[in-house]
Amino acid sequence: MSEQENKEGEGQQELVLALSKGRIFDETIPLLKAAGIEVLEDPETSRKLILPTNKPKVRVIIVRATDVPTYVQYGAADFGVAGKDVLQESGATGLYQPIDLQIARCHMAVAVRKGFDYEAAVRRGARLRVASKYVHAAREHFAKKGLHVDIIKLYGSMELAPLVGLSDVIVDLVSTGNTLKANNLVEVERIQEITSRLVVNQASLKLKRKEMQPILEAFKQASVAQESPEKA
Ligand code: ATP
Ligand code: PRP
């Protein structure tokens, strides 16, 4: 950290950004860079959960993807990045969602074992067993279709459920479709598009506006550029 950067921090309030390891961290790095922030340690190799940045008053904390809204709700982090899927399932309140960052893009879908006649099951109003990590989204989707379903909450590896008879269908995230294909499953309904959003603690936004505003602006610009590179 240069003397200049150290001086920059003087008189500023501290900002904490919550990120999860993996794709969210990796895809947020270019946005941070656009805001002049560089994370000084790699969470894949460091065991540290609080990572310094080149800005003395900005730190990144590494949490589970599903825990990001909780850290931000309680103000343990001033802001964080979380998928629309995670935000929909989270009971966290008082979060401000100012920016769709257009990162970690995928979609939520209904999938079944190859050969399972989903359309016929829906037509005859069969009571389907649905395995998913996304129980709220799944319940809402089937309720809209007027179908009664039994939802089985899972925490991962949803693709396995129809293969071993745990469920008839799954609701999961799909990007390339490779995971479905590798497990002999097919997508039968696209539920919604998913991207990750910046979530901000409302009190932090009021109390630390001066420190936060330039970062939010840079994120906004960089995410517009991600969405339509010709506008950059
Ligand atoms: P947790 O560790 O809490 O169980 P997770 O394993 O879902 O969470 P990640 O796999 O890092 O965490 O996913 C983080 C976010 O990235 C998800 O909430 C979703 O919005 C998005 N995402 C998930 N899978 C994909 C994918 N295959 N392609 C693109 N984005 C994805
Ligand atoms: C996600 C999702 C699917 C897979 C889809 O899992 O739950 O399993 O990605 O991606 P694809 O269509 O490109 O194959 P992830 O990689 O996050 O693994 P995890 O759920 O075990 O964290």
Minimum-distance ligand 1 atom for the alpha carbon of 83? 20
Q: Which helix (H) or strand (E) holds 44?
A: none
95 with 15, same domain?
A: yes
Q: Structurally, how many domains does the chain consist of?
A: 2
Residues 87 and 184 in one domain: no
Q: Indicate if 26 and 94 belong to the same structural domain.
A: yes
- pLDDT level of residue 232 (50, 70, 90 thresholds): very low
Q: What angle do CA 70, 73, 79 make, to 5 degrees?
A: 95
Q: In whole numbers, what is the pLDDT of the chain averaged over residues?
A: 94
Amino acid at residue number 123: R
For 86-142, write each residue's pLDDT tens digit: 999 998 888 998 899 999 999 999 999 999 999 999 999 999 999 999 999 999 999
In the predicted model, is pLDDT for residue 189 greater than 90?
yes
Answer yes or no: do 25 and 86 share one domain. Answer: yes
Q: Identify whether residues 67 and 134 lie together within a single domain.
A: no
Quick one: 34 and 125 in the same domain? no
Residues 60, 24, single domain; the answer is yes
Q: What is the mean pLDDT of residues 163-173?
A: 98
| Pocket residue to mutate for ligand 2, from 175, 176, 183, 191, most atoms within 8 A of Cβ | 175
Residues 139 and 57 in one domain: no
What HEC string does 120-147 produce? HHHHCCCCEEEEECCHHHHHHHHHHCCC
SS3 9: helix
Enumerate the β-bridge partners of residue 121.
none
| Domain harbouring 130, CATH code | 3.40.190.10
CA dihedral 88, 90, 92, 98 (to 10 degrees): -40
Tell me, yes or no, whether 187 and 134 share the same domain. Answer: yes
- Domain range spanning residue 76? 3-105+194-231
pLDDT on residue 9: 65
The single residue listed with the structure tokens 């989707």 is 141
pLDDT score for 30 = 96
For residues 90 and 201, state if they share a domain. yes
In this structure, the answer to whether residues 49 and 155 fall within a common structural domain is no
For residue 23, which amino acid is it? Answer: R
Contact between 96 and 205 under an 8 Å Cβ cutoff? The reply is yes
Average pLDDT over residues 15-40: 97
Does 96 share its domain with 201?
A: yes
3-state secondary structure of 159: coil
pLDDT of residue 229: 62
Q: Choose among 71, 70, 50, 48: nearest CA to 61.
A: 50
Pocket test for ligand 1, best of 194, 195, 199, 226 (most atoms within 8 A of CB): 194
Q: What is the mean pLDDT of residues 219-231?
A: 78
